[in-house]
Every structure is written in C-alpha cells, then in structure tokens.
Structure 1
C-alpha cells in the first residue's frame, strides 16, 4: 500500500498525522536556540574632515567638537566616537538598530550643513560622510612602492588605473585609497605687501 493510497483510504489518520506534524514544527520552532553571535548590521555613519597642518588638539577642538555638538541633537544615536590625528578627524556615529540608515544619513548631512559656519575657514573641503558596516573588513590590501617613481605618480596610478579596475569586479563593494600624495601649494598673501609691490 502506497502513502497516497493510505491517505485516501484513511482520511482521519491523515488529518491526525498532519496536525501532529504542524504541532511538532511549532514546538521545534519555539525550542530553536538563539545564536550567541547573531549577524546584525549596525547602522553606522562615519564622518571625516581634513585640515592640512592641523594638530590633533586643533582637530579635536576646532573641527570635531562643533560637529559632535550638532550630532548630539539627532535622535536615535547609541554612541559617538572620534579619532583625531594630524590634519584629519574621523567621527563614527552608531545608531539604534531600528533606525533607518538612509534617514540617519539625511540627518547627519543636515547637521554638517548647520556646522559649516563654525568650522575653520581654511578647510580645503567640507566634512564628508559615508555609511559603513563595522563588521566589514577589507579582504585585500595592496601596497604600492617604488624606488624610481615619485609618490605623486604612484598615487595617480592607483587613482586612475587600479581603483577603477577593481571597482568593476563583481562582488566588490568599495575600493579605498589611503596615504595618497598629491601636489598641493598653499599660499598666504599679505594684501599690504602685495599692494606695495604693485
């Protein structure tokens, strides 16, 4: 006797077996253990700002502090951490798990816009932000080094050749370049001396 024949000839037994399977599934679902380390993606936004020549103390007081004061007005923030180094500051804002990351990014952008007047005027560019996942780690690190090619040309090669090529690969989420050196000239002019020399 096949299973289908048994189910057709004995409908009451078939119904009881179906109910037993449903209750066994519900019991098993309730008894599932909770993962000790669940994979969750925390909504985190990283804000970075640069001020060439600024000491870590200057970055903390002149750049990071006004930004953090504005970020504290945003709802749903779990923690704010900052890292200040020579010429740059990085602020990591972690939001509550139920906070929408896109709405949080809009709030962060509005807070940065409100802070622009309080930041030093000689900053080359306004602070920027990006959505990050702290659980993500780089899977590949490449270092460029040359005894004959200057660092500016190595940086141009990384920006124009390596980064676009890696970005087009399937599965690559982000390509970041660190330690870049570019030609930069900063000139401070004394208007009085300039007018005196015609």
Structure 2
C-alpha cells in the first residue's frame, strides 16, 4: 500500500491529522520569540535649535542650511531631514545605516555641529541647541511568507 492511498482510504484520519497540524502551527506561531527579528529602524541623531522670532524661511536659510552643509558627509549617513516651525524651532534628523553605532554617530554629528557654530546667528547660540541620539520606535510585527 503506498502512502497517498492510506490517506485516501481514511479521509477522517486525514482531516483530523490536518486539523492537529493546523492547531500545532498556530500555537507555535504565537510562541515565536520576538528577539529573532532584526532591528529594522535606522539609528538617528536629532539636532534641535531655536531662533526666537524667526519665520521658517529665515530658519531654513540661516540655521538649517549651515548645519546641513556641515553634517553632510558624516560616515554612514543615509539621509537627513529638517523641519522648521513658525515658533522659531528647527529639528534636523540625521538617519544612519543599520550597522552604525548610534553613540559614535552622535559624537560625529556633534563634532560637525561644533564646526558650524560660527556660521549660526547669535540668537541661536544664546537660545541653545540640543543633540540627541535615538532609535525610532516601531510596532511589533510578524512576517508570514507567501
């Protein structure tokens, strides 16, 4: 008797076996450890600055542009994005490749920002600036292959 013929002759056994395998698969799926999933969000460094009383165009020209020029070319950088608000605040987010250490990236960006300080308006220097390293949070996900 060959293997397929066994299940053809016993359809109830085949159905029960299929349901048991389905239940075992569902239980195993929910027991998968999440530590096996890779970190998919890139390390980022955010530079914030404040220019009281300035509009977004002035901030873009006098604060964001010099900082972007100084930071551009940092090792491992993928892209940067700057946002200006009407209340005089600027946030420059620099995203790095996955393998780059966020702490080292922060130090490199800090060094580049320090070089750009002489080109910034005095109001920005007096109101302060902030630099922080972060990994964006993302929701937990599971991948089911097709």
Query: TM-score, normalised on structure 1?
Result: 0.48
Using the TM superposition, name which of 93-102 and 121-130 deviates more.
Answer: 121-130
Contact 1:112–1:127 (CA<8 Å) still a contact in 2?
no
| Alignment correspondent of 2:57 | 57
- 1:128-167 matches, within 5 Å, as 128-135=130-137
Query: What is the Cα deviation at residue 73 of structure 1?
Result: 2.7
Question: Residue 88 of structure 1 corresponds to which residue in structure 2?
Answer: 89
More strand by proportion, 1 or 2?
2
What secondary structure is seen at the aligned counterpart in 1 of 2:122? coil
Structure (1 or 2) with the greater helix fraction: 2
The answer as to whether partners of 1:49 and 1:127 remain within 8 angstroms in 2 is yes
- Larger RCO, structure (CA 8 Å, separation 6 or more): 2
Residues 45, 132 of structure 1: 8 Å contact kept: yes
Distance 1:39 1:106, change over 3 A: closer
Q: State the partner residue of 1:12.
A: none
Consecutive unaligned residues of structure 2, counting only runs of 5 or more, are 1-36, 140-146
Is there any run of 5+ residues in structure 1 with no aligned partner, and where? 1-36, 138-198
Which has the larger Rg? 1
Contact 2:42 2:135 in 1 (8 A): yes
